[in-house]
Structure 1
Amino acid sequence: MQIDGETKIVVIVGDPVAQAKSPELFNALFERYGVNAALVPLQVPPAKLGAVLDGLRGIVNLAGVVVIVPHKIAAAAYAADLSDAARQTGSVNCLRREMDGTWFGAMFDGIGFVKGLDACELIVRDKSVLLVGTGGAGAGVAHALVDAGVASLDLFDSNTESLQRLERALRSRGGTTLIRRSMPAAQAAHDFIVNATPCGMRANDPLPIDLTGAHPDAVVADLIMKPAQTRLLEDARARGLATHLGRYLLESSVETMAAFLRLVP
């Protein structure tokens, strides 16, 4: 990769940010397309997010910002306009810098997750899903699962306000998907069990979901990308359950995000 005065910059903001896989995937994509662009990580504490985003708006050769935990909901407030998915979920995972220095926010987590399942020949239509974690990524995944036609979606979050917000948003859509509150415990009826919390990033984190009651044919998915094999996925494998890695979400959305940033065709 060559950095020069014409390089377009993308940054990824999170706290922590060391676990992010975006730099290697985006930079490999830029190299493959022969695009003079680079993505670099910035660790930004929540209290500094506004100041950082306001400052980045003034950088003319900045294409945009990839947004990860815990900023996806907070960052949406800094966007002058939002995509349908971002407006629907109230969160963003990508901000594009427009010519006038304003941010346009979009959310690709949900569609990336469903595309990642499709790529692995895992079909969610008419299936029952347990989703634990209703923050920015969880909300994106929840809406995408409803779009994909799941029969039922059981939700849990220890943050009652976040859980209620997502429940209201999903029920206001109408449709046939059954939306229910649940506990963070797999049931025999669940075809897919999804962790959308950050619990599992650290080695001493507790298991976010109890898999004791899981059906033998259930698929356990974790949105965490580092470590690739979280404690939840290790527990699932030990029980003989199929697993779905977090990296599939990003791998299935990185090109779409780069196109949104106007860096690839």
Structure 2
Amino acid sequence: MTQIDGETRIVAILGDPIAQAKSPQLFNALFERHGVNAALVPFHVPATSLGTVLEGLRGVVNLAGVVVTVPHKLQAAAHATHLSAAAQQTGAANCLRREADGSWTGAMFDGSGFVSGLYGRGREMRGKSALIVGTGGAGVAVAHALIDAGIASIDLFDSNSASLQRLAQALRARGSGTVIRESVARAQAVHDLVVNATPCGMRPGDPMPLDLADAGPHAVIADLIMKPAETPLLEEAKARGLAVHPGRYLLENSVEAMAAFLRLIAST
């Protein structure tokens, strides 16, 4: 564990809930490996308090920035004075860097981290078909990153029709050639990748986020939830003999880039 002293740079992770967050372990281990005097700590922040908390944190001079998790990613982007290209594209931010004048610069690493995690497991997305269930901040980021990776088609579902329409229109407006369809929360034989980008599965008793009954034997079932490490969706996928891709791969492939964005380690 990093030794905390008066020169420690602080990073906060803001979420509601926050008990599921794996970022403290990964970031603090990274800081130790790099010999950086920094520490990441969890803050349980309800959505109604996010603006108040971010306004207060602007005044903390030794704060490097904040990591943003469920459900704050879309709202966090609105508090940033400047946004990275990915954050502008998705309208969401999962990391805010505190600048010297107290303003926030926002960035989004969920999409690139998710795709890097797929590549790291030998899973190529070019020319493939995906179903994404959930069109909040993480789902938006993953959808855009899959288009960047050359995916051929994306089916989208969200119980919030306004959120679904907003993402579908944004993806079509890119003119990438990727086929974008509004769908149902059910895997189909055509889907090479099925992604749960909702919080369903985080708490005991949550409903299953999607139906795997018609999934093809080649499908990879991905869940963006970090805790539990094996969600009910992934358990069912394994029981059906399907390949699974747990949420930790997204975070594990984002931590170094986020720490570099916060100017705590050198960029690679």
Q: TM-score range by the shorter chain?
A: over 0.9
Matches of 2:204 and 2:16 in 1, distance apart?
17
Matches of 1:137 and 1:175 in 2, distance apart?
20
Q: Deviations over 1:32-65 (max 9, x none)?
A: 0000000000000111100000000000000000
> In the TM superposition, what are the counterparts of 1:67-86 in structure 2 within 5 Å?
67-86=68-87
Equivalent residue number for residue 97 of structure 2: 96
Matched residue type, 1:217: H
Residue 31, structure 1, aligned to residue 29, structure 2:
no
Matched residue type, 1:137: A
What's the TM-score once normalised by structure 2's chain length? 0.98
Partner SS state of residue 64, structure 1: strand
> In the TM superposition, what are the counterparts of 1:104-253 in structure 2 within 5 Å?
104-253=105-254
- Listed as ranges, the gaps of 5+ residues in structure 1 are none
Matched residue type, 1:171: R
Matches of 2:204 and 2:53 in 1, distance apart?
30
Matches of 1:138 and 1:193 in 2, distance apart?
12
Q: Deviations over 1:50-92 (max 9, x none)?
A: 0000000000000000000000001111000100100111100
Matches of 1:48 and 1:202 in 2, distance apart?
22
Question: What's the CA shift for 1:206?
Answer: 1.1
Q: Deviations over 1:69-122 (max 9, x none)?
A: 000001111000100100111100000001111000000000000000000001
Matches of 1:31 and 1:253 in 2, distance apart?
17
Equivalent residue number for residue 56 of structure 1: 57
Q: Deviations over 1:180-225 (max 9, x none)?
A: 0010000000000000000000121111010000001110000001
Matched residue type, 2:241: G
Matches of 1:70 and 1:188 in 2, distance apart?
31
Matches of 1:228 and 1:192 in 2, distance apart?
19
Alignment coverage as a number of residue pairs: 265
Matches of 1:40 and 1:82 in 2, distance apart?
23
Matches of 1:59 and 1:94 in 2, distance apart?
16
Partner SS state of residue 153, structure 1: strand
Matched residue type, 1:49: L
Matches of 1:63 and 1:175 in 2, distance apart?
36
Partner SS state of residue 205, structure 1: coil
Equivalent residue number for residue 18 of structure 2: 17
Matched residue type, 1:264: I
Matches of 2:207 and 2:53 in 1, distance apart?
32
Question: What's the CA shift for 1:161?
Answer: 1.1
CA RMSD of aligned residues (A): 0.5
Matches of 1:264 and 1:161 in 2, distance apart?
39
Matched residue type, 1:168: Q
Question: What's the CA shift for 1:165?
Answer: 1.0
Question: What's the CA shift for 1:176?
Answer: 1.1
Matches of 2:175 and 2:169 in 1, distance apart?
10
Question: What's the CA shift for 1:168?
Answer: 1.3
Partner SS state of residue 123, structure 1: coil
Runs of 4+ in 1 over 2 A off after TM superposition: none
Matches of 1:87 and 1:163 in 2, distance apart?
18
Matches of 1:170 and 1:54 in 2, distance apart?
32
